[in-house]
Chain A
Amino acid sequence: MKEKWALIGVSIFLCLVFAGSLLFLISMGRDKGTEDGYAYIYQDGILVKTVSLEKEEVFLIEGNHGAYNKIQVKDGSIGVTEASCPDFLCGQMGYISKGPIPITCLPNRLVIEVGNGRETEDLDGVVY
Protein backbone atom coordinates (compact mmCIF):
# COMPACT_ATOMS: atom_id res chain seq x y z
CA MET A 1 0.00 0.00 0.00
CA LYS A 2 2.82 2.34 1.01
CA GLU A 3 4.51 1.78 -2.34
CA LYS A 4 1.34 2.60 -4.25
CA TRP A 5 0.93 5.95 -2.46
CA ALA A 6 4.61 6.76 -2.94
CA LEU A 7 4.25 6.04 -6.66
CA ILE A 8 1.14 8.23 -6.95
CA GLY A 9 2.82 11.03 -4.94
CA VAL A 10 5.94 11.08 -7.10
CA SER A 11 3.87 10.92 -10.30
CA ILE A 12 1.72 13.89 -9.24
CA PHE A 13 4.84 15.85 -8.27
CA LEU A 14 6.46 15.16 -11.64
CA CYS A 15 3.27 16.10 -13.53
CA LEU A 16 3.10 19.41 -11.67
CA VAL A 17 6.76 20.17 -12.41
CA PHE A 18 6.15 19.40 -16.09
CA ALA A 19 2.99 21.45 -16.37
CA GLY A 20 4.65 24.43 -14.65
CA SER A 21 7.71 24.22 -16.89
CA LEU A 22 5.61 24.01 -20.05
CA LEU A 23 3.58 27.07 -19.05
CA PHE A 24 6.83 28.91 -18.33
CA LEU A 25 8.30 27.91 -21.68
CA ILE A 26 5.17 28.91 -23.62
CA SER A 27 5.07 32.30 -21.88
CA MET A 28 8.77 32.78 -22.76
CA GLY A 29 8.02 32.01 -26.39
CA ARG A 30 5.32 34.69 -26.49
CA ASP A 31 7.37 37.50 -25.03
CA LYS A 32 9.26 38.07 -28.26
CA GLY A 33 7.69 41.16 -29.69
CA THR A 34 5.55 39.25 -32.14
CA GLU A 35 2.13 38.82 -30.61
CA ASP A 36 -0.82 40.41 -32.41
CA GLY A 37 -2.83 42.96 -30.47
CA TYR A 38 0.21 44.28 -28.65
CA ALA A 39 2.60 47.16 -29.23
CA TYR A 40 6.29 46.98 -28.44
CA ILE A 41 8.17 50.15 -27.60
CA TYR A 42 11.93 50.16 -28.03
CA GLN A 43 14.27 52.92 -26.93
CA ASP A 44 17.93 52.79 -28.00
CA GLY A 45 17.35 49.23 -29.19
CA ILE A 46 15.99 48.02 -25.86
CA LEU A 47 12.39 46.85 -25.36
CA VAL A 48 11.17 49.26 -22.66
CA LYS A 49 7.42 48.68 -22.69
CA THR A 50 4.83 46.24 -24.02
CA VAL A 51 1.21 47.41 -24.12
CA SER A 52 -2.07 45.79 -25.07
CA LEU A 53 -3.87 47.67 -27.84
CA GLU A 54 -7.19 46.78 -26.25
CA LYS A 55 -6.66 48.93 -23.17
CA GLU A 56 -6.86 52.69 -23.77
CA GLU A 57 -4.09 54.61 -22.04
CA VAL A 58 -1.70 57.52 -22.35
CA PHE A 59 1.86 57.34 -21.06
CA LEU A 60 5.25 59.00 -21.37
CA ILE A 61 8.49 57.41 -22.51
CA GLU A 62 11.34 59.56 -21.27
CA GLY A 63 14.91 59.65 -22.57
CA ASN A 64 18.08 61.56 -21.82
CA HIS A 65 18.30 65.35 -21.53
CA GLY A 66 14.57 65.91 -21.19
CA ALA A 67 13.64 63.91 -24.31
CA TYR A 68 10.13 62.43 -24.20
CA ASN A 69 7.35 60.96 -26.34
CA LYS A 70 3.75 61.00 -25.14
CA ILE A 71 2.06 57.88 -26.48
CA GLN A 72 -1.64 57.13 -26.70
CA VAL A 73 -3.43 53.82 -27.16
CA LYS A 74 -6.97 54.23 -28.50
CA ASP A 75 -9.41 52.28 -30.68
CA GLY A 76 -7.00 49.35 -30.95
CA SER A 77 -4.17 51.50 -32.30
CA ILE A 78 -1.15 53.39 -30.99
CA GLY A 79 0.39 56.76 -31.86
CA VAL A 80 2.49 59.65 -30.57
CA THR A 81 0.52 62.73 -29.46
CA GLU A 82 3.35 64.92 -28.21
CA ALA A 83 7.15 64.77 -28.27
CA SER A 84 10.24 66.78 -27.48
CA CYS A 85 11.77 66.18 -30.94
CA PRO A 86 12.00 69.32 -33.13
CA ASP A 87 10.27 67.93 -36.25
CA PHE A 88 7.47 65.84 -34.62
CA LEU A 89 7.59 63.41 -37.56
CA CYS A 90 6.75 60.59 -35.13
CA GLY A 91 3.39 62.26 -34.44
CA GLN A 92 2.75 62.86 -38.13
CA MET A 93 3.05 59.11 -38.75
CA GLY A 94 -0.39 58.77 -37.16
CA TYR A 95 -1.71 55.69 -35.42
CA ILE A 96 -0.78 52.11 -36.27
CA SER A 97 -2.62 48.92 -35.39
CA LYS A 98 -1.22 46.16 -37.62
CA GLY A 99 2.00 47.50 -39.11
CA PRO A 100 4.00 46.87 -41.19
CA ILE A 101 5.63 50.30 -41.01
CA PRO A 102 6.65 51.06 -37.42
CA ILE A 103 6.45 54.51 -35.86
CA THR A 104 9.94 55.89 -35.48
CA CYS A 105 11.33 58.94 -33.73
CA LEU A 106 14.90 59.37 -34.95
CA PRO A 107 15.94 62.17 -32.53
CA ASN A 108 14.67 60.25 -29.48
CA ARG A 109 15.74 56.86 -30.89
CA LEU A 110 12.28 55.41 -30.31
CA VAL A 111 10.57 52.65 -32.30
CA ILE A 112 6.96 51.54 -31.82
CA GLU A 113 6.10 48.23 -33.47
CA VAL A 114 2.85 46.31 -33.42
CA GLY A 115 2.32 42.54 -33.61
CA ASN A 116 2.46 42.75 -37.38
CA GLY A 117 0.52 39.55 -38.01
CA ARG A 118 3.63 37.57 -37.27
CA GLU A 119 1.73 35.41 -34.83
CA THR A 120 -1.45 34.77 -36.86
CA GLU A 121 0.14 34.68 -40.32
CA ASP A 122 3.45 33.26 -39.12
CA LEU A 123 5.18 36.13 -40.89
CA ASP A 124 8.93 36.56 -40.70
CA GLY A 125 8.96 40.08 -42.10
CA VAL A 126 7.27 42.64 -44.29
CA VAL A 127 8.85 44.53 -47.19
CA TYR A 128 7.46 47.96 -47.90
Chain B
Amino acid sequence: MWRKKQKALVVTALLLFLLLVVLLSGRNGKGKAEIYERADILMGTSFHGTVYGGKRDVLPELAKELRSLETERLSWREETSEIAKINFLDGKEPYENISAELSGYLTDILDIADRSGGALDPTIGNISRLWDFGGANERLPEQEEIDKFLEKTGYEKLQVSENSIFIPKGVSLDLGAVGKGIGADRAADFIKKQDGIEGAVIALGGSIALIGSKPDRSPWNLAIADPRGKEGEILGLLKLSGEQFVSTSGDYEKYFEVDQKRYHHILNPKTGYPAESGLISVTVVCESGLKSDGLSTACFVLGLERGMELLKEYGAEGVLVDEEKNVYITEGLKSLFDLKDASYKIVK
Protein backbone atom coordinates (compact mmCIF):
# COMPACT_ATOMS: atom_id res chain seq x y z
CA MET B 1 0.00 0.00 0.00
CA TRP B 2 2.75 2.43 1.08
CA ARG B 3 4.77 1.60 -2.05
CA LYS B 4 1.82 2.35 -4.28
CA LYS B 5 1.38 5.74 -2.65
CA GLN B 6 5.12 6.38 -2.84
CA LYS B 7 5.03 5.63 -6.57
CA ALA B 8 2.05 7.92 -7.04
CA LEU B 9 3.85 10.71 -5.21
CA VAL B 10 7.01 10.32 -7.28
CA VAL B 11 5.00 10.26 -10.52
CA THR B 12 3.03 13.38 -9.47
CA ALA B 13 6.24 15.19 -8.51
CA LEU B 14 7.84 14.29 -11.85
CA LEU B 15 4.81 15.46 -13.81
CA LEU B 16 4.74 18.77 -11.93
CA PHE B 17 8.47 19.18 -12.49
CA LEU B 18 8.06 18.58 -16.23
CA LEU B 19 5.23 21.12 -16.33
CA LEU B 20 7.52 23.68 -14.69
CA VAL B 21 10.28 22.97 -17.20
CA VAL B 22 7.85 23.56 -20.06
CA LEU B 23 6.65 26.80 -18.46
CA LEU B 24 10.19 28.01 -17.87
CA SER B 25 11.41 27.27 -21.38
CA GLY B 26 10.18 30.27 -23.28
CA ARG B 27 6.88 31.06 -21.60
CA ASN B 28 6.33 33.68 -18.97
CA GLY B 29 3.63 34.03 -16.36
CA LYS B 30 1.23 35.79 -18.72
CA GLY B 31 1.17 32.92 -21.19
CA LYS B 32 3.28 34.81 -23.72
CA ALA B 33 6.33 33.58 -25.59
CA GLU B 34 9.76 34.93 -24.70
CA ILE B 35 9.94 38.65 -25.46
CA TYR B 36 13.02 40.39 -26.80
CA GLU B 37 13.22 44.19 -26.80
CA ARG B 38 15.72 46.75 -27.97
CA ALA B 39 15.71 50.54 -28.21
CA ASP B 40 18.42 52.18 -30.27
CA ILE B 41 19.22 55.02 -32.62
CA LEU B 42 19.16 53.80 -36.19
CA MET B 43 18.76 55.56 -39.52
CA GLY B 44 18.87 58.90 -37.72
CA THR B 45 15.82 58.19 -35.60
CA SER B 46 14.65 56.25 -32.57
CA PHE B 47 14.23 52.52 -33.05
CA HIS B 48 12.19 50.16 -30.89
CA GLY B 49 11.90 46.47 -31.63
CA THR B 50 9.73 43.94 -29.79
CA VAL B 51 9.98 40.31 -30.88
CA TYR B 52 7.80 37.49 -29.56
CA GLY B 53 9.35 34.05 -29.65
CA GLY B 54 12.28 32.79 -31.66
CA LYS B 55 15.31 30.80 -30.65
CA ARG B 56 17.48 33.79 -29.73
CA ASP B 57 17.59 37.57 -29.67
CA VAL B 58 17.92 38.63 -33.32
CA LEU B 59 17.50 42.36 -32.67
CA PRO B 60 21.27 43.10 -32.53
CA GLU B 61 21.59 41.54 -36.03
CA LEU B 62 18.62 43.56 -37.25
CA ALA B 63 20.31 46.72 -35.94
CA LYS B 64 23.40 45.84 -38.02
CA GLU B 65 21.23 45.22 -41.08
CA LEU B 66 19.56 48.63 -40.74
CA ARG B 67 22.93 50.34 -40.24
CA SER B 68 24.17 48.82 -43.48
CA LEU B 69 20.97 49.91 -45.27
CA GLU B 70 21.80 53.44 -44.19
CA THR B 71 25.52 53.41 -44.95
CA GLU B 72 25.39 51.41 -48.19
CA ARG B 73 22.18 52.65 -49.76
CA LEU B 74 20.14 55.51 -48.35
CA SER B 75 21.97 58.17 -46.38
CA TRP B 76 23.08 61.32 -48.19
CA ARG B 77 25.36 61.99 -45.20
CA GLU B 78 27.39 58.76 -45.56
CA GLU B 79 29.84 59.04 -48.43
CA THR B 80 29.79 55.24 -48.82
CA SER B 81 26.09 55.15 -49.69
CA GLU B 82 24.76 54.97 -53.23
CA ILE B 83 22.66 58.10 -52.70
CA ALA B 84 25.76 60.10 -51.65
CA LYS B 85 27.70 58.77 -54.65
CA ILE B 86 24.88 59.74 -57.02
CA ASN B 87 24.74 63.25 -55.50
CA PHE B 88 28.53 63.54 -55.70
CA LEU B 89 28.48 63.11 -59.49
CA ASP B 90 26.42 66.34 -59.61
CA GLY B 91 25.32 66.04 -63.22
CA LYS B 92 28.75 65.16 -64.63
CA GLU B 93 27.72 61.70 -65.74
CA PRO B 94 25.09 59.03 -64.99
CA TYR B 95 25.62 56.76 -62.00
CA GLU B 96 25.96 53.31 -63.55
CA ASN B 97 25.33 49.89 -62.01
CA ILE B 98 22.81 51.11 -59.50
CA SER B 99 21.85 48.26 -57.16
CA ALA B 100 18.59 46.48 -57.92
CA GLU B 101 17.53 47.30 -54.37
CA LEU B 102 17.92 51.09 -54.72
CA SER B 103 16.50 51.01 -58.23
CA GLY B 104 13.39 49.27 -56.84
CA TYR B 105 12.98 51.89 -54.10
CA LEU B 106 13.35 54.73 -56.61
CA THR B 107 10.77 53.18 -58.91
CA ASP B 108 8.24 53.04 -56.06
CA ILE B 109 9.08 56.57 -54.87
CA LEU B 110 8.78 58.04 -58.35
CA ASP B 111 5.44 56.27 -58.79
CA ILE B 112 4.09 58.03 -55.67
CA ALA B 113 5.70 61.30 -56.79
CA ASP B 114 4.01 60.99 -60.18
CA ARG B 115 0.58 59.95 -58.94
CA SER B 116 0.59 62.66 -56.24
CA GLY B 117 1.58 65.36 -58.73
CA GLY B 118 4.87 65.94 -56.91
CA ALA B 119 3.49 66.13 -53.36
CA LEU B 120 6.22 63.63 -52.51
CA ASP B 121 9.52 64.60 -54.10
CA PRO B 122 12.90 62.94 -53.50
CA THR B 123 14.74 65.97 -54.90
CA ILE B 124 13.73 68.30 -52.07
CA GLY B 125 16.93 67.56 -50.12
CA ASN B 126 18.61 70.96 -50.55
CA ILE B 127 15.54 72.81 -49.28
CA SER B 128 15.13 70.45 -46.29
CA ARG B 129 18.73 71.14 -45.34
CA LEU B 130 18.07 74.90 -45.43
CA TRP B 131 15.37 74.52 -42.77
CA ASP B 132 17.27 71.79 -40.87
CA PHE B 133 14.25 70.85 -38.73
CA GLY B 134 15.32 69.19 -35.51
CA GLY B 135 18.97 69.89 -36.35
CA ALA B 136 21.54 72.21 -34.89
CA ASN B 137 20.99 74.85 -37.63
CA GLU B 138 17.19 74.99 -37.57
CA ARG B 139 16.03 78.37 -38.93
CA LEU B 140 13.54 80.20 -41.14
CA PRO B 141 15.34 80.61 -44.49
CA GLU B 142 15.15 83.70 -46.66
CA GLN B 143 12.80 83.54 -49.66
CA GLU B 144 15.76 84.04 -52.01
CA GLU B 145 17.51 80.98 -50.64
CA ILE B 146 14.37 78.87 -51.14
CA ASP B 147 13.82 80.18 -54.66
CA LYS B 148 17.39 79.31 -55.61
CA PHE B 149 16.89 75.68 -54.63
CA LEU B 150 13.32 75.42 -55.91
CA GLU B 151 14.73 75.73 -59.43
CA LYS B 152 16.75 72.59 -58.75
CA THR B 153 13.80 70.65 -57.32
CA GLY B 154 11.51 68.36 -59.27
CA TYR B 155 11.32 64.57 -59.47
CA GLU B 156 10.73 64.79 -63.23
CA LYS B 157 14.34 65.99 -63.60
CA LEU B 158 15.60 62.51 -62.65
CA GLN B 159 16.40 60.01 -65.39
CA VAL B 160 16.18 56.51 -63.99
CA SER B 161 16.66 53.31 -65.96
CA GLU B 162 17.08 49.75 -64.76
CA ASN B 163 20.85 50.06 -64.30
CA SER B 164 21.59 53.75 -64.03
CA ILE B 165 20.40 57.11 -62.80
CA PHE B 166 21.25 60.60 -63.96
CA ILE B 167 20.55 63.74 -61.95
CA PRO B 168 21.26 67.19 -63.41
CA LYS B 169 23.77 69.55 -61.78
CA GLY B 170 22.58 71.07 -58.52
CA VAL B 171 19.80 68.53 -57.99
CA SER B 172 20.17 66.56 -54.79
CA LEU B 173 18.51 63.28 -53.85
CA ASP B 174 17.19 62.80 -50.32
CA LEU B 175 15.06 59.79 -49.39
CA GLY B 176 14.36 61.11 -45.89
CA ALA B 177 10.57 61.14 -46.43
CA VAL B 178 10.52 57.39 -47.05
CA GLY B 179 13.72 56.18 -45.33
CA LYS B 180 12.01 54.99 -42.17
CA GLY B 181 9.39 53.15 -44.19
CA ILE B 182 12.10 51.43 -46.23
CA GLY B 183 13.78 50.49 -42.93
CA ALA B 184 10.47 49.01 -41.72
CA ASP B 185 10.23 46.95 -44.95
CA ARG B 186 13.79 45.68 -44.51
CA ALA B 187 13.12 44.85 -40.84
CA ALA B 188 9.99 42.86 -41.75
CA ASP B 189 11.89 40.87 -44.41
CA PHE B 190 14.66 40.13 -41.88
CA ILE B 191 12.26 39.01 -39.12
CA LYS B 192 10.30 36.74 -41.47
CA LYS B 193 13.50 34.85 -42.36
CA GLN B 194 14.20 33.95 -38.70
CA ASP B 195 13.11 30.66 -37.16
CA GLY B 196 10.35 30.40 -34.61
CA ILE B 197 9.32 34.05 -34.33
CA GLU B 198 5.58 34.34 -33.75
CA GLY B 199 5.31 38.10 -34.14
CA ALA B 200 7.15 41.39 -33.95
CA VAL B 201 6.60 45.12 -33.89
CA ILE B 202 9.42 47.23 -35.28
CA ALA B 203 9.20 51.00 -34.94
CA LEU B 204 11.50 53.45 -36.69
CA GLY B 205 10.44 56.92 -35.66
CA GLY B 206 6.86 57.33 -36.87
CA SER B 207 6.83 54.18 -39.04
CA ILE B 208 5.88 50.77 -37.69
CA ALA B 209 6.03 47.27 -39.17
CA LEU B 210 3.57 44.72 -37.75
CA ILE B 211 4.77 41.19 -38.40
CA GLY B 212 2.94 37.94 -37.64
CA SER B 213 0.79 37.95 -34.53
CA LYS B 214 0.97 38.15 -30.77
CA PRO B 215 1.21 34.86 -28.90
CA ASP B 216 -2.41 35.20 -27.71
CA ARG B 217 -3.51 35.91 -31.34
CA SER B 218 -5.20 39.18 -30.35
CA PRO B 219 -4.85 42.04 -32.86
CA TRP B 220 -1.94 44.47 -32.64
CA ASN B 221 -2.98 47.52 -30.67
CA LEU B 222 -1.47 50.77 -31.95
CA ALA B 223 -2.03 54.27 -30.66
CA ILE B 224 -2.00 57.36 -32.86
CA ALA B 225 -0.48 60.35 -31.06
CA ASP B 226 -2.80 63.29 -30.37
CA PRO B 227 -1.59 66.00 -32.78
CA ARG B 228 -2.66 68.77 -30.43
CA GLY B 229 -2.30 66.93 -27.12
CA LYS B 230 0.23 67.21 -24.37
CA GLU B 231 3.14 64.83 -24.23
CA GLY B 232 1.91 61.25 -24.06
CA GLU B 233 -1.73 61.86 -25.02
CA ILE B 234 -3.32 59.80 -27.75
CA LEU B 235 -5.92 60.48 -30.45
CA GLY B 236 -7.18 56.91 -30.73
CA LEU B 237 -6.37 53.26 -31.05
CA LEU B 238 -6.11 51.06 -34.13
CA LYS B 239 -6.54 47.30 -33.96
CA LEU B 240 -4.64 45.71 -36.82
CA SER B 241 -3.56 42.32 -38.08
CA GLY B 242 0.02 41.46 -39.05
CA GLU B 243 1.89 42.01 -42.32
CA GLN B 244 0.91 45.67 -42.37
CA PHE B 245 2.83 48.92 -42.09
CA VAL B 246 1.70 52.10 -40.41
CA SER B 247 3.18 55.59 -40.77
CA THR B 248 2.09 58.95 -39.47
CA SER B 249 3.00 62.41 -40.71
CA GLY B 250 2.08 65.34 -38.50
CA ASP B 251 2.86 68.99 -38.06
CA TYR B 252 3.67 68.53 -34.35
CA GLU B 253 6.71 66.26 -34.39
CA LYS B 254 9.35 68.73 -35.52
CA TYR B 255 8.55 72.41 -35.68
CA PHE B 256 9.54 75.83 -34.47
CA GLU B 257 7.68 79.09 -34.12
CA VAL B 258 8.59 82.55 -35.38
CA ASP B 259 6.26 85.48 -34.56
CA GLN B 260 3.69 82.97 -33.25
CA LYS B 261 3.57 81.14 -36.60
CA ARG B 262 4.30 77.43 -36.59
CA TYR B 263 6.81 76.13 -39.15
CA HIS B 264 6.64 72.33 -39.27
CA HIS B 265 8.91 69.87 -41.06
CA ILE B 266 6.64 68.57 -43.85
CA LEU B 267 7.54 70.75 -46.79
CA ASN B 268 5.46 71.33 -49.88
CA PRO B 269 7.91 70.65 -52.74
CA LYS B 270 6.15 73.25 -54.91
CA THR B 271 6.69 76.16 -52.49
CA GLY B 272 9.62 75.05 -50.34
CA TYR B 273 7.58 76.03 -47.25
CA PRO B 274 5.72 73.86 -44.72
CA ALA B 275 2.57 72.40 -46.29
CA GLU B 276 -0.64 74.21 -45.39
CA SER B 277 -3.29 71.80 -46.62
CA GLY B 278 -5.58 72.01 -43.60
CA LEU B 279 -4.46 68.62 -42.31
CA ILE B 280 -2.50 68.27 -39.08
CA SER B 281 -2.03 64.49 -38.95
CA VAL B 282 -2.17 61.69 -41.53
CA THR B 283 -1.80 58.02 -40.64
CA VAL B 284 -1.56 55.49 -43.46
CA VAL B 285 -1.89 51.71 -43.22
CA CYS B 286 -0.86 49.50 -46.13
CA GLU B 287 1.18 46.48 -47.18
CA SER B 288 4.50 48.32 -47.68
CA GLY B 289 6.56 50.48 -45.35
CA LEU B 290 7.87 52.63 -48.18
CA LYS B 291 4.34 53.27 -49.42
CA SER B 292 2.84 53.97 -45.98
CA ASP B 293 5.63 56.45 -45.25
CA GLY B 294 5.57 58.10 -48.68
CA LEU B 295 1.77 58.25 -48.86
CA SER B 296 1.41 59.79 -45.39
CA THR B 297 3.72 62.64 -46.47
CA ALA B 298 2.04 63.02 -49.89
CA CYS B 299 -1.48 63.03 -48.39
CA PHE B 300 -0.43 65.58 -45.76
CA VAL B 301 0.76 67.91 -48.53
CA LEU B 302 -2.27 67.26 -50.80
CA GLY B 303 -4.96 67.80 -48.18
CA LEU B 304 -8.12 65.88 -47.40
CA GLU B 305 -9.86 65.43 -50.73
CA ARG B 306 -6.90 64.65 -52.96
CA GLY B 307 -5.23 62.72 -50.16
CA MET B 308 -8.25 60.42 -49.86
CA GLU B 309 -8.23 59.90 -53.62
CA LEU B 310 -4.56 58.96 -53.57
CA LEU B 311 -5.13 56.42 -50.76
CA LYS B 312 -7.95 54.88 -52.78
CA GLU B 313 -5.73 54.66 -55.85
CA TYR B 314 -3.16 52.69 -53.84
CA GLY B 315 -5.73 50.58 -51.97
CA ALA B 316 -4.31 52.02 -48.75
CA GLU B 317 -6.24 52.92 -45.60
CA GLY B 318 -5.88 56.04 -43.48
CA VAL B 319 -6.90 58.27 -40.58
CA LEU B 320 -6.72 61.95 -41.51
CA VAL B 321 -7.19 64.81 -39.06
CA ASP B 322 -7.81 68.43 -40.01
CA GLU B 323 -7.10 71.61 -38.04
CA GLU B 324 -10.75 71.78 -36.93
CA LYS B 325 -10.15 68.47 -35.14
CA ASN B 326 -12.35 66.52 -37.57
CA VAL B 327 -11.24 62.92 -38.07
CA TYR B 328 -11.74 61.26 -41.46
CA ILE B 329 -11.35 57.49 -41.69
CA THR B 330 -11.23 55.32 -44.80
CA GLU B 331 -13.81 52.53 -45.08
CA GLY B 332 -11.45 49.68 -44.19
CA LEU B 333 -10.42 51.22 -40.85
CA LYS B 334 -13.79 52.46 -39.62
CA SER B 335 -14.49 49.41 -37.47
CA LEU B 336 -10.86 49.15 -36.32
CA PHE B 337 -10.38 52.69 -35.02
CA ASP B 338 -11.42 53.71 -31.52
CA LEU B 339 -11.38 57.47 -30.84
CA LYS B 340 -10.02 58.21 -27.37
CA ASP B 341 -10.05 62.01 -27.26
CA ALA B 342 -13.50 63.60 -27.06
CA SER B 343 -12.25 66.96 -28.35
CA TYR B 344 -12.05 65.34 -31.82
CA LYS B 345 -15.04 64.39 -33.95
CA ILE B 346 -15.31 61.53 -36.42
CA VAL B 347 -16.84 62.71 -39.68
CA LYS B 348 -19.03 59.97 -41.19
Contact = CB atoms under 8 A, between A and B. Distances in A.
B269 interface: no
A125 interface: yes
Interface in B170-229: 201, 203, 206-208, 210, 214, 220-225
Contacts of A125: 48, 50, 201, 203, 208, 220, 222-223
Interface in B2-42: 2, 5, 9, 12-13, 16, 20, 23-24, 27-30, 32, 35, 37-41
B9 A124 contact: no
B35 A32 contact: yes
Nearest to A114: B232
Interface string A45-78: 1010000000000000000000000000000000
A128 interface: yes
A42 B40 contact: yes
B294 to A, nearest CB: 15
B222 A33 contact: no
- What size tier do the contact residues of chain B reach? 35 or more
B250 A25 contact: no
A106 B136 CA distance: 12
Given A29-B28, A86-B136, A127-B206, A109 B41 contact: yes
B39 A113 contact: yes
Interface string A12-46: 00100110011001101100111000001010110
A102 B222 contact: no
Interface residues of A, number: 50
B222 A29 contact: no
B223 A127 contact: yes
Interface of A: 2-3, 6-7, 10, 14, 17-18, 21-22, 25-26, 28-29, 32-34, 40, 42, 44-45, 47, 86-87, 89, 94, 96-102, 104-106, 109-111, 113-114, 117, 121-128
Interface of B: 2, 5, 9, 12-13, 16, 20, 23-24, 27-30, 32, 35, 37-41, 44-48, 50, 59-60, 63, 134-136, 201, 203, 206-208, 210, 214, 220-225, 231-234, 237, 246-248, 250, 252-253, 283
19 contacts: A7-B9, A21-B20, A21-B24, A25-B24, A25-B27, A29-B29, A47-B37, A97-B231, A99-B232, A100-B223, A111-B39, A111-B41, A117-B223, A121-B221, A122-B221, A125-B208, A125-B220, A126-B234, A127-B225
